[in-house]
Structure 1
Amino acid sequence: MSALKQYIMNSRRKFILKSFLGATGLSALAGKLPLFAQIRKPLSAIKPIVISTWNHGLAANEAAWQVLNAKGRALDAVETGVKVTEADPKVTTVGYGGYPDREGKVTLDACIMDEEGNCGSVAFLQNIKHPISVARLVMEKTPHVFMVGEGAQRLALAHGFKKENLLTPQAAKAWKEWLKTSKYKPVINAENHDTISMLAIDAQGNMSGACTTSGAAWKMHGRIGDSPIIGAALFVDNEVGGACATGLGEAVIKMVGSHLVVELMRQGLSPQDACRAAVERIVKKQKNYKELQVGFLAMNKAGETGAYSVQPGFNYAVHNGQENKLIDAQSMVK
């Protein structure tokens, strides 16, 4: 069954439920309860869980789980988790060791969102290893949501962060090799491609999310993708669930992808079907979809997860306390 047909079925279910409640004198309740609350598991069924994109999510999940297992806050868990990837020089698409832009400069983007809807973002940040923590600074220490470039760096330095050279010898070598041809075309799933995005539910049943990246390798100096944009790369609604994205940022921005996935879950779709419906939207609206990769990862408040991508090759990590495993997502293109 397609995601669209599933949506129609859930809409009918909602209509029938409202009709029944109206007939029994409880129509006011029908207007107040979101469909999610009507068909999903009760909050008492929720247990801590963390999910993240790509195989570097396995190590990130382990760190996040330590926070969750100690009954820590989901916000602390997602920040702690993605910092592992940001600090890993072997991951060439995030943080330290990330491939530079075409001028040889490593520029970082990140965003974070908590259970109250508070959020913070940084973009075009240079020489600071952990942009996710600077994004949290923006959220908690300023009246703003989004800071970029030198201003974001100044904020970080004022709060004790240190300037570091993030261009590793490996990344510098790859950049110099690229300069020989200077051809730019994003490669589908290259180097286990781009961001790490993470969602977590803590023991209190609250959800938070984080996303961080060094962006597309060899991008134009100043290019920003979806990763620091709330609603595109990441969106969390503590009443419904959360979603995050990976892949070509331009394609995600055009449809505000993660917000779309959450809103589809609000209407009753499962995380899996909501991700699939979002990918179907990309395929329908963006003519060059066969040349790009976008993947969505989602989790609702019952701890149910789902993922779907345009191209095969997208995978995600899930840690539920019993196991930390990597799962291959289904895709539109087979």
Structure 2
Amino acid sequence: EGITTLDACIMDEFYNCGSVCFLEKIKHPISVARKVMETTPHVMLAGSGAQQFALENGFELDDYVNPESEKAWHEWLKTSEYKPIINFENHDTIGIVALDAHGNLGGACSTSGMAYKIRGRVGDSPIIGAGLYVDNEVGACTATGTGEEVIRIAGSHLVVEKMRDGMSPEDACRYAVERMIRIRPEQSKTLQVGFIAVNKSGEYGGYCIQPGFQYAVHTNEGNVLVDARSYY
């Protein structure tokens, strides 16, 4: 239908969390998710209710359609079937996990989801435990890629729990990817999912299904772009 829908969630060191999904015509969904976390007793708001909440809290309607994306959508309408087409280029997510100077963890995740998806589709990004999870005793994790696969294994929660068991962040991310592949071995050959994680000691790591996934690291020593190891 040519309408962009946005998803986001945020979680702090006290297990406080907020989420919005299927949010239309509101920029910066992560800010709306934070407002949910800080001002309501709820965790997730969806669709028109999330939009109404945003408007009542000072956010403005914005169509955020640029000429390039509109042109691509019109071209897709001419040539594609009306079903979600999964590839490495048609989805992207901004995921952040952080450890502050006081040793506290937090994270956030925001996305417009898969391109040309069936209306109503929501991926992993706004789901606490799938696209993002934070446990201040252990670590934090976020995910990107094909959200359906992340949801199936509660991916970010799984990574944090494996860090609780003593795995390094990279090994925990690899464990989640390998479980995903074990469950759906044939499908995984055409999918991309990546995890990044940080533990309570400040160690970090990532792992993905296909080559080409990078993540940025910022520390007191500076910034670095890391090529994550991959299964294939």
| Structure-1-length-normalised TM-score | 0.67
Matches within 5 A, 1:31-46: none
C-alpha separation in 2, matches of 1:166 and 1:148: 19
CA contact (8 A) 2:85 2:117 kept: no
Matches within 5 A, 1:219-258: 219-258=117-156
C-alpha separation in 2, matches of 1:201 and 1:280: 26
C-alpha separation in 1, matches of 2:158 and 2:198: 13
Matched, 1:295 2:211: no
Name the counterpart of 1:9. Answer: none
Name the counterpart of 1:270. Answer: 168
Choose the corresponding residue for 1:187, options 83, 87, 102.
87
Q: CA deviation at 1:232?
A: 0.2
Name the counterpart of 1:217. Answer: 115
Name the counterpart of 1:315. Answer: 214
- Secondary structure at the residue paired with 1:179? helix
Q: CA deviation at 1:322?
A: 2.3
Any unmatched runs of 5+ in structure 2? none
Choose the corresponding residue for 2:159, options 248, 252, 261.
261
Matches within 5 A, 1:64-83: none
Q: Show CA shifts across 1:261-300 (max 9, x none).
A: 0000000000011001111101101131101011110100
C-alpha separation in 2, matches of 1:243 and 1:149: 26
Structure with the largest fraction of helix:
1
Name the counterpart of 1:115. Answer: 13
Name the counterpart of 1:154. Answer: 52
Q: CA deviation at 1:205?
A: 1.1
Matches within 5 A, 1:126-205: 126-183=24-81, 184-188=84-88, 190=89, 193-205=91-103
Q: CA deviation at 1:233?
A: 0.3
Q: Show CA shifts across 1:128-156 (max 9, x none).
A: 10100111111111111010011111111
Choose the corresponding residue for 1:284, options 146, 165, 182.
182
The structure 1 segments of at least 4 consecutive aligned residues displaced by more than 4 Å after TM superposition are none
Q: Show CA shifts across 1:165-215 (max 9, x none).
A: 111111101111111112442112x16x41010011111111110000000
Q: CA deviation at 1:321?
A: 2.6
Any unmatched runs of 5+ in structure 1? 1-102
C-alpha separation in 1, matches of 2:99 and 2:165: 21
Larger Rg: 1
CA contact (8 A) 2:99 2:198 kept: no
C-alpha separation in 1, matches of 2:66 and 2:94: 19
Structure with the largest fraction of strand:
2
Name the counterpart of 1:105. Answer: 3
Identity %, equivalent residues: 61
Q: CA deviation at 1:117?
A: 0.6
C-alpha separation in 1, matches of 2:101 and 2:188: 39
For CA contacts below 8 A with separation 6 or more, give which structure has more relative contact order: 1
Aligned residues: 229
